[in-house]
Amino acid sequence: MESIAVPTETMAPEGTTNAYLVESALVDPAGRTDALDRAVAQRDVDHVLVTHVHPDHVGGVAHYADVCDATVWARAGRERRFVDATGVEPDRTFRGGTRVGPLTAVDTPGHAPDHVAFEYGEALLTGDLVVAEGSVVVAGRRTDGEGAAHPATGEGDVRSYLVSLRRLHARDPATLHPGHGPVIDDPRAQIRRLIDHRLAREERVADAVRSGARTLADVTDAAYDKDVSSVRSLAEATVAAHLEKLDAESAVAWDGRRAEPRS
């Protein structure tokens, strides 16, 4: 497996997205670069596919599909979304469990509704499901008309995200290969850290509502200790995603504008 960091417009601290070459498969060609050109030229790429279609993962799909004359794959049921993001009609579709060349697709929604991981032996290519440091964006809907801070805003689903992390934990892979940043060689510890982080945030959000916070702004102020002013919009979208989950679980009433505790 070969990983090539592609500079992208991304929120990730590295400012790059990892494209992966795994035998005959090219995963997340985030853009065209000389390094990726060279790597692709050294093998027969038969399959082009992405973990999800956020703009920082798809910039090179059309180009590499063309120069490699490769089969372009999309998640079944998400073809329209794939075409909108890549400008390419997929040749074939996959579902969880489908074999694509050397890879097997694993459904892992949450960060995005079409998000998948790809299994390769003991390794998992995990897209934006995990990162070695910090946490990934799982952003809910905002109803105040604020502009989107991130392409993920409005489509994050914390419940799905936690299920996906637990699915990963159960598979017990040897290594995780994320869409941004370095390889993770202690998967279970990192997955556990990300689950705990998410549940701790949820507890803070629920506490804030119980303590009287009603608006998204007030709940956000109460749920973060650190100064989030530079990423305010994203922090509020993150809190909104937690409120959606708490509402779905009947812990809090949340209509997109106002939160109320439920007894």
Contact set with Zn ion (CB under 5 A): 54, 128
The nearest distance, CB 8 to Zn ion, in angstroms, is 10
Minimum CB distance to Zn ion smaller for 115 or for 242: 115
- Residue 228, exposed/middle/buried by CB under 10 A (0-12, 13-18, 19+)? middle
The nearest distance, CB 128 to Zn ion, in angstroms, is 4
Minimum CB distance to Zn ion smaller for 111 or for 259: 111
Q: How many CB atoms lie within 10 A of CB 39?
A: 18
Minimum CB distance to Zn ion smaller for 10 or for 71: 10
Q: Tell me, what DSSP letter sits at residue 200?
A: H
Check if the beta carbon of residue 70 is closer than 8 Å to that of residue 61. no
The nearest distance, CB 58 to Zn ion, in angstroms, is 10
> Rounded to an integer, what distance in angstroms lies between the CA atom of residue 31 and that of residue 16?
10
| Of 158, 188, 157, residue with least CA distance to 173 | 188
The nearest distance, CB 173 to Zn ion, in angstroms, is 20
The nearest distance, CB 111 to Zn ion, in angstroms, is 6
The nearest distance, CB 12 to Zn ion, in angstroms, is 9
Query: Could you give the angle at the alpha carbon of 238 between the alpha carbons of 76 and 174, nearest 5°?
Result: 60
The nearest distance, CB 212 to Zn ion, in angstroms, is 34
Q: Hey, what's the torsion of the CAs at 33, 38, 40, 42, to 10 degrees?
A: 180
Chain residue at closest Cβ approach to Zn ion: 54
Check if the beta carbon of residue 216 is closer than 8 Å to that of residue 144. yes
Q: Which residues contact 125 (CB under 8 A, 6 or more apart)?
A: 20, 22, 27, 28, 51, 103, 117, 118, 119, 177
**Radius of gyration over alpha carbons of the chain, in Å?**
19
> Rounded to an integer, what distance in angstroms lies between the CA atom of residue 222 and that of residue 211?
9
Minimum CB distance to Zn ion smaller for 152 or for 219: 152
Minimum CB distance to Zn ion smaller for 131 or for 208: 131
Minimum CB distance to Zn ion smaller for 128 or for 244: 128
Minimum CB distance to Zn ion smaller for 47 or for 54: 54
